Amino acid sequence: MTLDDLVRLRRARDRIDREYAQPLDVPSLARTALMSPGHFSRSFRAAYGETPYGYLMTRRIERAKALLRRGDLSVTEVCMAVGCTSLGSFSTRFTELVGESPSAYRARDHSAGAAIPACVARVGTRPVRNEEARPDATPLA
């Protein structure tokens, strides 16, 4: 993979980070990276360790966790706010990545993590698939 490819992939990843709540698909992200959809998907996975869709959903769940910690929105409102259109799919993916349902996560007391700066909390609370979780990791929130 060339440096130019990595720059174009980064541009697409940055777009996902910015526009996670918008409808995004592989063909439009591939156009952002100036690649064919197949080449983009393979290159993205090689560069970042997950598919473009997987990265998008991880970003959405990461944002959903922050909204749920605030506690002023319902799970359905959070689902729609992060760009998911199906509450069932959102809840399934959230549970897969976080290890508990969105309702259970929202109901938990998050005051212990309130003093942690957001930039630090983001690293410690980034959703990962359950089988990818390190056994020595301690959750921050």
In CATH terms, the fold of domain 59-131 is: Arc Repressor Mutant, subunit A (1.10.10)
Mean local confidence (pLDDT), 130-135: 48
Q: Where are the domains of the chain?
A: 3-49, 59-131
Quote the pTM value.
0.79
Q: Taking each helix axis as running N to C, give the angle between helix 118-125 and helix 52-70, from 0 to 180 degrees, rounded to the nearest 10.
A: 120
- pLDDT, one tens digit per residue, over 29-52 is 999 999 999 999 999 999 999 999
Percent of the chain residues topping a pLDDT of 70: 79
**Which residues does 90 contact at the CB level (< 8 Å), separation at least 6?**
60, 64, 79, 82, 84, 102
- pLDDT, one tens digit per residue, over 54-88 is 999 999 999 999 999 988 999 999 999 999 999 99
How far are the Cα atoms of 6, 60, 68, 94 from residue 126, in angstroms, in the given order? 23, 11, 14, 12
DSSP 138: -
